[in-house]
Structure 1
Amino acid sequence: MSQFEYSVIPSPRKGKSAKGVKGTPMKLANALSSVMNDMATEGWEYVRADTLPCEERQGLTGKTVNYHSLLVFRRPLAESSADEAATQEVLGLPPLREEPKLVREEPETYELYEEEQEQIDTTEHQSEQEAGNDVADRLRSVFASQRNSA
């Protein structure tokens, strides 16, 4: 018996333009196709779309129920392929052909992002320290002037 893991993602709310795609329904269909193809390259199989209620805050104390469209995907767990192979062996059937694993590479810009973020964090930390020093200097001068006038 196969076991699956599931992934649920929000459905696209806006259409995606492309060459030859005209009209809002076609743009939305294009956006949905992109999402489904991206998930398929990661091994996810589309199961269904659901519209589910979600209670959300409205204002300071109010609550409201909004409905969101969600896409449900599934893929077999890694253990299930081992179980199926064992079942094939017990039944005397030829082994199943292994599907090639698709590897999604992270973009190189991610490393650049981390370096840039580190520089930003360092700059922010230095500016916070400088701001703290400015405040401390101002407080010292205020207290000194109060002592001198007293």
Structure 2
Amino acid sequence: MQSYEYKVIPAPLRGEKERGAKTVAERFAVALTNAMNAMGREGWEYLRADTLPCEERVGFTGKATNFQHMLVFRRVVGASAPLILDEAAPVVPKLGAAVADEGGKAPALGPAQGSEAAQDAG
């Protein structure tokens, strides 16, 4: 059976500005997405959001209960964080169009050498 370790962080209180995010809900979604992606890069898997009571002092002798919104993440114990490369992945060149010779026609390709299909066809 796998063992997990857990991490709890406070949910964002405000949205973050981003191009295309105009409403409060869209900006809050950006802030939540950024927080969750940051945890995911460290190998944490999002589990759930909880709202929990938190007792705070008010004045000298008073107490008040406020509710905190928390995000719960987990990962397998002993699992290392995934490798993150700072450099972009290498670009694989794509094949271009066939280059025509001076006569205006592209050269014809013959059958592959050494293949059974080429021997059967010939």
Verify same fold: TM over 0.5.
yes
SS state at 1:20 partner: coil
* Structure 1 counterpart of 2:82, from 101, 106, 109: 101
Counterpart of 2:77? 77
Alignment of 1:68 onto 2:49: no
- RMSD between aligned residues: 2.1
1:104, 1:56 → 2: CA distance? 43
Counterpart of 1:40? 40
Given that 1:43 and 1:102 are in contact with CA atoms closer than 8 Å, whether structure 2 keeps it comes out as: no
SS state at 2:75 partner: strand
1:100, 1:62 → 2: CA distance? 44
TM-score, normalization by structure 2: 0.65
Aligned residues: 86
Structure 2 residues not aligned, in runs of 5+ = 87-122
Counterpart of 2:25? 25
1:67, 1:53 → 2: CA distance? 4
1:32, 1:8 → 2: CA distance? 14
Counterpart of 2:107? none
1:104 is displaced (CA, Å) by: 9.3
Higher RCO (CA 8 Å, separation ≥ 6 residues): 2
SS state at 2:34 partner: helix
4+ aligned runs moved over 6 Å, structure 1: none
Which structure shows the bigger proportion of residues in strand conformation? 2
1:2, 1:63 → 2: CA distance? 41
Instruction: Among all aligned residue pairs of Structure 1 and Structure 2, give the percentage whose two residues are the same amino acid.
Output: 49
TM-score, normalization by structure 1: 0.54
2:83, 2:36 → 1: CA distance? 15
Change beyond 3 A, Cα 1:44–1:18: same
